[in-house]
């Protein structure tokens, strides 16, 4: 989370914001269990490739483990930017994947926390974006939520 720390330091000198996204792939486990780990690994590679195509060069995408990714976006003034990014992610990941000859469909549940609005520490941002993501999971998946207390 060094990049998140750097992004926070940078925006502290400006009027800009940082967004932390927690992205969980809906349906990944079933594909991994049904078609095997090679298929699951290829799906993860294709997910990362698709995500990079809808993000800016300065955005930072990381795989946390299994089927979870985190995204740091910074240098924006209008909080609506995170809605646009989340909608692009959901749209691109909702399209079918061709994985080793298998057609696979997944979705994504995304939780978002904004600095400094939803937390002034890295731990608060992580906790709040994770909470928002689990709220999405509880209410139907394949959607996003910006944290609210």
Q: Indicate which residues carry an active-site annotation.
A: 67
What does the alpha-carbon distance between residue 142 and residue 122 come to, in Å, rounded to a whole number? 25
The torsion defined by the Cα of 87, 93, 96 and 98, in degrees rounded to 10, comes to 150
Characterize 26-61 residue by residue with b for buried, 16 or more Cβ atoms within 10 angstroms of its Cβ, and e for exposed: bbbeebbeebeeebbebbbeebeebbeeebeeebbb
What does the alpha-carbon distance between residue 10 and residue 42 come to, in Å, rounded to a whole number? 35
Tell me if 142 sits within 8 A of 94, measured CB to CB.
yes
């Amino acid at each position: 989370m060094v990049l998140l720390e750097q992004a926070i330091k940078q925006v502290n000198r400006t009027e800009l914001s940082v967004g932390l996204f927690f992205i969980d792939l809906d349906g990944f486990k079933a594909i991994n269990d049904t078609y095997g780990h090679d298929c699951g690994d290829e799906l993860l590679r294709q997910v990362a490739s698709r995500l990079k195509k809808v993000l800016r060069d300065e955005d930072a995408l990381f795989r946390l483990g299994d089927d979870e990714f985190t995204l740091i976006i910074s240098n924006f003034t209008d909080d609506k930017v995170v809605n646009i990014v989340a909608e692009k992610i959901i749209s691109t990941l909702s399209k079918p994947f061709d994985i080793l000859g298998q057609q696979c469909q997944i979705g994504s549940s995304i939780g978002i926390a904004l600095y400094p609005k939803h937390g002034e520490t890295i731990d608060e941002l992580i906790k709040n974006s994770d909470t928002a993501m689990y709220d999405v999971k509880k209410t139907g998946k394949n959607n996003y939520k910006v944290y609210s207390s």
